[in-house]
Amino acid sequence: MTRLGGLGLAAAFLVSALAAGALWRVALHASADDRAHHEAAVHAVPGDVADRQALAHLDVAAGRPRAARARLSAALRRAPFAAPLWLDRADVALALGDPPAARRDALRAVHLAPADAAGCERAAVVLLQADGAADAAPLLRCAATLRPEREPAVLDLAAAVYPDVGAVLRTVVPPDANGVGRFLRWAHERDRVGAAALGWRALAALGPSRGDRLRHVDFLLDHGLVDDAGALWAEAYGAAGPGRVFDGGFETDPVGAGFGWILSERNGARIAITRDAAASGRSGLSVEFQGGNVAFFGVRQVVPVEGGRRYRLSALVRTDGVTSLSGPRLRVEAHPACRGFSTVESAELRGTRPWGPVGVEFTTPPDCRGVRILLCRPATDRLDRELRGRVQLDDVALRDLGAPS
């Protein structure tokens, strides 16, 4: 019976899933004719080990592991440097309840083929089932290094087996920036906050890319960790300033992540940062609505705040021929860092108006650390739902008005 030592259920499942098919995948659809074919080939060419190996696979599938070990031992006498044969015999040793033999054969295979990524991973799976977790770690690193596309699966296995994710980072993850970067992306995808923190710390020492930084800032924001995200953001982009909104004057290219402006066009609405839309400075934001019952949420940003404070979101706005009784508006809405917040909106923007202030006030809940601000227009069931015209926006700011009275 296969042993999984002290591994937990999740680890046992992963190890078993990886081990499944390692030895007997070839034999799943085998027939009596296949066996006869391989036996005839062995008789005709005794020195050819491939047919002996195939017969061993058939023996395992038929529940005859002792016969399989005998065939593999005979094959190894003819081809002692064939690493796959040693791995096959290691699998059979596990099936026979002989972990020490399984460990010896798996390590022999790796010694013969140290640059075989698939062999490293398969040997690691054998060792994990033979109570050899410490010896398996460098083999998992071998697999992740030589086959980067396998790193997420290797990390899933390692994280299930080793209780200390820091040890996984130190002993399994390739130590270069690419390997650590893949570890960080794995932590993001698996929603592992602690692992992501360790991964970022390691990657920061190696020189993260702009994309790595922004992905990690977004990950932190998604988990409500605004202070940590803000520190990383400020290192690269500087502080937002007294108005709290980053680039509230639209003077730079939008970052598209983190605390920067996220601009998302859709059918019926075109967004541009242009000189013509500037109320001050060099440029401002222009949104042209081109008809239809547009649901638009394409101008948004996460802004850090403090809990239990009164704020005013303001902007300079100019409109030109905005139709529909349900016009665009400024909105402040909840963010993962501000649960329990009720959405507030400014008055709707309609018709044609010169540059002037538009704003909305709100109070943050006690534990609030961030909100999302938007220029938006939800779809409407009003009769006058066709939205056309232009809205221009500049000098967006969020002012702290103090403690609520």
pLDDT in tens, 196-227: 999 999 999 999 999 999 999 999 999 999 99
What gap in Å lies between CA 24 and CA 68, rounded to an integer? 11
96 pLDDT higher than 90: yes
Question: What DSSP assignment string belongs to 88-131?
Answer: HHHHHHHHTT-HHHHHHHHHHHHHH-TT-HHHHHHHHHHHHHTT
SS3 361: strand
SS3 257: coil
What gap in Å lies between CA 57 and CA 38, rounded to an integer? 11
Tell me if 198 is assigned to some domain: no
For the stretch 120-161, pLDDT in tens is 999 999 999 998 999 999 999 999 999 999 999 999 999 999
Tell me if 368 is assigned to some domain: yes
Which has more pLDDT, 58 or 272? 272
The last residue of one of the domains, among 104, 131, 158, is 131
- Average pLDDT in the 155-172 region? 93
Tell me if 115 is assigned to some domain: yes
Tell me if 118 is assigned to some domain: yes
Q: What is the pTM of this model?
A: 0.83
276-282: Cβ within 8 A, 24+ apart: 276/392, 277/250, 277/318, 277/392, 277/393, 277/394, 278/250, 278/394, 279/316, 279/318, 279/355, 279/392, 279/394, 279/395, 280/249, 280/316, 280/394, 280/395, 281/249, 281/250, 281/251, 281/394, 282/251
According to the model, what pLDDT value does residue 23 have?
Answer: 47
Q: Give me the CATH number covering residue 87.
A: 1.25.40.10
The last residue of one of the domains, among 90, 115, 131, is 131
The last residue of one of the domains, among 116, 131, 146, is 131
Q: What percentage of residues in the chain have a pLDDT greater than 70?
A: 88
106-128 CB burial, b ≥16 within 10 A, e <16: bbbbbebbeebbebbbbbbbbbb
Question: What DSSP assignment string belongs to 15-30?
Answer: HHHHHTTTTTGGGTT-
What gap in Å lies between CA 187 and CA 219, rounded to an integer? 10
According to the model, what pLDDT value does residue 32 have?
Answer: 54
Q: Which of 123, 129, 182 is nearest to 156 (CA)?
A: 182
For the stretch 344-394, pLDDT in tens is 999 999 999 999 999 999 999 999 999 999 999 999 888 788 899 999 999
Please give the structure tokens belonging to residue 169: 């980072």
According to the model, what pLDDT value does residue 49 have?
Answer: 78
Tell me if 43 is assigned to some domain: yes
According to the model, what pLDDT value does residue 198 have?
Answer: 98
According to the model, what pLDDT value does residue 13 have?
Answer: 46
Residue 47: HSE in the Cβ half-sphere, 13 Å Cα cutoff: 0
What gap in Å lies between CA 129 and CA 372, rounded to an integer? 49
Tell me if 159 is assigned to some domain: no
For the stretch 2-21, pLDDT in tens is 344 445 545 544 554 455 44
What gap in Å lies between CA 376 and CA 270, rounded to an integer? 13
33 pLDDT higher than 80: no
- Give the total number of structural domains in the chain: 2
- Domain assignment of residue 18, given as a range: 9-131
According to the model, what pLDDT value does residue 3 have?
Answer: 42
CA–CA distances in Å: residue 165 to residues 155, 172, 189, 204, 403:
10, 10, 15, 18, 42
Q: Give me the CATH number covering residue 335.
A: 2.60.120.260
Tell me if 358 is assigned to some domain: yes
168 pLDDT higher than 90: yes
401 pLDDT higher than 70: yes
26 pLDDT higher than 50: no
Average the pLDDT over each of 36-45, 120-129, 159-168 and give the range with the smallest value: 36-45
SS3 157: helix
Tell me if 88 is assigned to some domain: yes
For the stretch 104-118, pLDDT in tens is 999 999 999 999 999
What gap in Å lies between CA 58 and CA 192, rounded to an integer? 42
- Counting Cβ atoms within 10 Å, is residue 88 exposed (0-12), middle (13-18) or buried (19+)? buried
Q: How confident is the model at residue 28 (pLDDT cuts 50, 70, 90)?
A: very low
According to the model, what pLDDT value does residue 21 have?
Answer: 46
129-153 CB burial, b ≥16 within 10 A, e <16: bbbbbebbbebbbbbbbbbeebbbb
